[in-house]
Amino acid sequence: MNSLSETYKTADWKNEKHVPVIGAPLAVKKGTVVPVTVTIGKEVAHPNTTAHHIAWIALYFQPQGSPVPYEIGRMEFKAHGASAEGADKSGVYTHHEATMKLKTEVSGTLMATSYCNIHGLWQSTQVLAVE
């Protein structure tokens, strides 16, 4: 049996539409509120249809030396064109991007995860240095 961690995929986001792209500064001053934007399909557009879509994005921060990460936030995307008239008939679609903010006094690693209803779980990381 696979463990959940074995199902996460990663790739170069410039060529793969499923990878969550973390948009955050590489370094911040201690105690600064840091906006972090996570986008799916930054360079290669990901579909957002009833049949093929991103269901959610989650952002975590693991402080350097900590055994566990903190969940910063999660965004679920519910509008993929479905309506009473059928698939892709509503004309209402969410965009798979979320901005969350955090404040930290220690350096660590930002970790983003996402879920595509067809292609599964994806992840990426970015180091955040605190000066």
Residues with catalytic roles: 16-18, 46, 52, 116, 119
Q: How far apart are CA 80 and CA 118, in angstroms?
A: 14
Distance, CA of 32 to CA of 67 (rounded, Å): 23
Radius of gyration from C-alpha coordinates of the chain:
16
Q: Is 88 exposed, middle or buried (0-12, 13-18, 19+ CB in 10 A)?
A: middle
Q: For residue 86, give every residue at least 6 positions away whose Cβ sits within 8 Å of its Cβ, in sequence order, or none.
A: none
At 49, is the secondary structure helix, strand, or coil?
A: coil
Q: Which residue has the tokens 């290669």?
A: 44
